[in-house]
Amino acid sequence: MQNVASKLEFDKICAKLKGFTHTEIASFQAESLTMLSKEDLKDTLEDLKEAMSYADSHSLPPIHYHKNLMPFLSVLKKEGTGDISFFVGIRDLLENVKEILDFFEENESYPCLNRYLLRLNPLESLKNRIDSVITKNLDIYDHASTALYRIRNAIKQEMNGQSKLHQSLLDRYKKYLNSERLVLREQGLALPISISYKNQIDGVTIGISASGNTAFILPVEIMKSNQKIQSLQEEEKEEILRILRDLAKVVSKEVDVLKEDVFIVSSLDFLFAKVALAQEMKATIAEISENNSFSLQNARHPLIAKEKVVANSFVFDKEKIVLITGPNAGGKTVCLKTVGLLIYMHQAGLAIPCDEAILPYFTNLFVDIGDEQSLKDQLSTFTAHIHMLKEALEDIHETSFVIIDELGSGTSPEDGEALGVGVIEFLHQKNAFALLSSHYDGLKSFALENDYILNASMIFDEEILTPKYKIRFGVAGKSYGLEVASKEGLNPFILESAKKYLKSRESENENRLKILNEKLLEVDKLRATLEEQNQKLNEEISHMEKELAKVREEKKRLEKNAEEEKEKLVLETKKEIEEIMESFKAKKEPKLHEAIALKREIENRFESKEEEEEYLSQESFAIGDRVREKDSQAIGVIEKISKDTARVLLDSGLSMNVKMSFLRKVSQTKVQKKTKSEFYGFSSLEKQVPLECNLIGLHVQEAIDVLAKYFDDALTMHYHVVRVIHGFGTGKLRHAVWEYLKKQSFVESFRFGGMNEGGMGATVVNLK
């Protein structure tokens, strides 16, 4: 498949994919990506589908650069050790593992991702151990061991003492010096002594000045100090090696877990690199067909710039062989490469740039595109093609996909057409899929005569003689060679002679092709007209939608005004009620009949004559009667009657069993509208409590307060079933309501509402 990948430029797709990776292992996987087995492909695409879904609703996970630690971990397991950079690499890995686990939310909707995440282990104790030894600046902490702290402290003291020693030597040998400062030489700091006094100094001469007047002498005291520091530094190195060996022993106990972490992080990196590539290409995952269905809708070549690429759809139905014809530079080769590359990408486990795709699994992909002339073997273009055909066609079967550009080219038209017919018949015999291109009229005619081949052509603008790079199926294409030659100004005599020659050679099939093309042009013109009309229709629809939006705005304005008027009326009514209440309270000992009369007066202010309830004869009840329950004032229809009890389906969607003595018939056309207002001065008098409590629009705490008050009232009315409306939303309000209900002793049970009870936007509560 390597040659196929090269012809289709799959290596450039791999390079794009590599650009989205972070870890060394994932980068290598991207470079070496190739087609997968069918079973591996199914698993890979399932993982990719889930990862794309997660990235669309969240984002790409935070995966950082990691060197491939696998070889170092294998050495460590065999009682090896590692340098500081190795342990820092482990620490970075474990930090990233923790970051990845924190990023992903536990969700049963992502089983493939969960399968990866469950295998990750942040090994926090190991990370803390590494942190206690190695600094962020890739050094060893002084307190990594007692010995290291002692050694480094001794080095510091010796180095600090050297500055005093230097000054002491300068003072002691002041009269012998040619300079007031020590001189730095390769062997260390030396005294610049006059040459005549060099033997007066206890030390080693390490150099003479160019003038010969100064001897550079390394005093014995400095030599001893340097040797002590060097000895301490050797001890420091040995102690650091010992610390790292101890750390390696700790790490070696977790080698298998670390290898798993490396593998999973690299696998996630490679997986989400494919997601990032898909996002860049606006790609989709192809469905694997089990019945040889083949469909690529609006397929785009991924290596052509987005602003230049032309989308084409390819569908193989009853014809498994498609022959594309048309002019040079019309886009035939691009179409062939697009289909081949998308098949290869799909079977390598990548999403492909198209709107929708259904593809069979191909066990063999054969591609012959471009000039395969071999200079080394002195083979002609035609001979090279024949060699390729010979090798490839030996392994062709019904699960093969064959792509051949310019079938039969490189030899005479007669031989080329004959060879092309032979190849097509062979492919048909093998029941293989094939996408072919050719200029030969003989192959176009052959395709017309055989229903297992589908003719296709590249659309060419005949008016301006330029290609549109769009494919159309069902008709063969012209080469437009003479037309292009005329446009480019070729000698008219030559063109006229060529036209006469072509006319003399026109056959019946060629005439049929010409007629089909003319009809196709008419279809194209009709399609253009329809598209123009469709555009006008869309513009009219857009205009109507804008007008409708204006109407809706006006409706909102009127509703707002009506609401303001309503609020104004309510305020005025409340004011009147307060005045009545004040007059009632002024009485020292109000009597019950006076209170009832006052209540009725208040209620009358919320009722119009048209809304008054019309109680009908109470002699008997029947199924289907519309009734009102006396205590709750809830209205519904009788569903079932059993002795002295009736089951009533309320307008709210709830059902309740009520004694018939508590029911009153209600007119089918007139239903009293009772106010929902509460008058706190009469809480002990016939207070109306609805069978449902609407919490939508309230904050959680506000809702719980309202709910608690509602249940106080509902229990007073001896209700057995009520409904709490909390809506769908984010689920916070529903969660708070359920937590509240769980803690209440008066709640027998609760559940989501049924189909006619508000569904999951409501909770039905059974009270004790």
What is the spatial distance between Cα 548 and Cα 201, in angstroms, rounded to a whole number? 107
- Domain-terminating residue out of 433, 463, 481: 481
- Domain-terminating residue out of 448, 481, 514: 481
Predicted confidence at residue 681, as pLDDT, reads 36
CA distances to 518, 655, 676, 718 from 757, in Å: 64, 10, 21, 21
pLDDT at 598 over 70: no
Residue 216 and residue 313 in one domain: no
Q: With cut-offs at 50, 70 and 90, classify the pLDDT of residue 599.
A: low
User: Is residue 589 domain-resident?
Assistant: no
CA distances to 251, 590, 591, 686 from 587, in Å: 89, 6, 9, 21
Angle at CA of residue 398, ends 392 and 401, nearest 5°: 50
Express each pLDDT in 726-753 by its tens digit. 888 788 899 999 999 999 988 999 998 8
CA distances to 371, 469, 573, 673 from 569, in Å: 89, 70, 6, 17
What is the spatial distance between Cα 75 and Cα 218, in angstroms, rounded to a whole number? 46
Predicted confidence at residue 378, as pLDDT, reads 41
User: Is residue 58 domain-resident?
Assistant: yes
Predicted confidence at residue 395, as pLDDT, reads 82
Predicted confidence at residue 544, as pLDDT, reads 86
Neighbour count for residue 515 (Cβ, 10 Å): 10
For strands 203-208 and 183-185, give the pairing. Answer: unpaired
* Phi, psi dihedral angles at 503 (to 5 degrees): -65, -40
Express each pLDDT in 502-531 by its tens digit. 676 665 555 665 666 666 567 667 777 887
Q: What's the number of domains the chain is made of?
A: 5
What is the spatial distance between Cα 18 and Cα 27, in angstroms, rounded to a whole number? 5
The more confidently predicted of residues 490 and 42 is: 42
Residue 315 and residue 207 in one domain: no
The CATH number of whichever domain residue 763 belongs to comes to: 3.30.1370.110
The more confidently predicted of residues 178 and 263 is: 263
Predicted confidence at residue 512, as pLDDT, reads 60
Residue 262 and residue 158 in one domain: no
Choice among 31-45, 229-243, 375-389 with the minimum mean pLDDT: 375-389
What is the spatial distance between Cα 253 and Cα 264, in angstroms, rounded to a whole number? 19
- Domain-terminating residue out of 481, 514, 549: 481
Average pLDDT value for residue range 66-76: 91
Helices 24-31 and 255-281 meet at what angle, rounded to 10?
50
User: Is residue 494 domain-resident?
Assistant: no
Q: With cut-offs at 50, 70 and 90, classify the pLDDT of residue 35.
A: very high
Choice among 488-497, 567-576, 665-674 with the minimum mean pLDDT: 665-674
Predicted confidence at residue 374, as pLDDT, reads 40
User: Is residue 466 domain-resident?
Assistant: yes
pLDDT at 84 over 70: yes
Neighbour count for residue 185 (Cβ, 10 Å): 13
Express each pLDDT in 418-429 by its tens digit. 888 888 999 999
The CATH number of whichever domain residue 663 belongs to comes to: 2.30.30.30
pLDDT at 692 over 70: yes
User: Is residue 421 domain-resident?
Assistant: yes
What is the spatial distance between Cα 364 and Cα 374, in angstroms, rounded to a whole number? 24
Express each pLDDT in 279-299 by its tens digit. 999 999 999 999 989 999 999
Residue 238 and residue 209 in one domain: yes
* Phi, psi dihedral angles at 421 (to 5 degrees): -60, -45
Please, what's the b/e burial string for 387-397 (b: 16 or more CB within 10 A of its CB; e: otherwise)? ebbeebbeebe
Average pLDDT value for residue range 533-538: 85
Q: What is the pTM of this model?
A: 0.62
User: Is residue 542 domain-resident?
Assistant: no
For the stretch 606-613, contacts whose Cβ atoms lie closer than 8 Å and that sit 24 or more positions apart, written own/partner, are 606/573, 606/674, 606/675, 606/677, 607/672, 607/673, 607/675, 610/670, 611/670, 611/671, 611/672, 611/673, 612/670, 612/672, 613/666, 613/667, 613/670, 613/671, 613/672
The more confidently predicted of residues 142 and 617 is: 142
Residue 345 and residue 474 in one domain: yes
Residue 455 and residue 352 in one domain: yes
What does the longest C-alpha to C-alpha distance in the chain come to?
Answer: 144
Q: Whole domain around residue 739: which residue ranges?
A: 690-768
Predicted confidence at residue 682, as pLDDT, reads 37
Residue 300 and residue 416 in one domain: yes
pLDDT at 119 over 70: yes
